[in-house]
Amino acid sequence: MAETWLIILLSGLLTYAIRLSFIALHGRWQPPLLFQRALRYVPPAVLSAILLPEIFLPGGQPDFSLLNPRLLAGILAALVAWRTRNTFLTIVVGMSGLYLFQMIIR
């Protein structure tokens, strides 16, 4: 039991130190250009890793059909995001579409 708490404590401290290092070094250290360019891809990669399994694997099974309400809502949200570039509107339309498609399809 003590090992578990030690692992949790050390993991928390390590996470805190990593985040603090970026805050403390901000303005004092200029990272290499390649590193800066690579960091620009982190948010889309993380968002994709969270969203795509939820859209294409509902219930853990692949579903690429047009009877997948999550896929339809995702397509609708992507179109709204592309046309308006409004995050709030994209979320509202995507969630509304998901509820509507779930009621219609299932």
pLDDT, one tens digit per residue, over 72-93 is 999 999 999 999 999 999 999 9
pTM for this one? 0.68
Predicted confidence at residue 43, as pLDDT, reads 94
**pLDDT class for 30, splitting at 50, 70, 90?**
confident
Share of the chain above pLDDT 70, in %: 100
Q: Which tokens belong to 68?
A: 């997948």
Whether the per-residue pLDDT at 106 is higher than 80: the answer is no
Angle of the 69-84 helix axis to the 42-56 helix axis, nearest 10: 150
Q: What pLDDT does residue 28 have?
A: 85
Structure tokens at 74: 């995702």
**What percentage of residues in the chain have a pLDDT greater than 90?**
82
In the chain, helix, strand, coil percent, each to 5? 80, 0, 20
pLDDT of residue 72: 96
Answer yes or no: is pLDDT of 33 > 80: yes
Cite the DSSP H helix spans in 26-86.
33-39, 42-56, 69-84
- The burial of 75, by beta-carbon neighbours within 10 Å (0-12 exposed, 13-18 middle, 19 or more buried), is given as middle
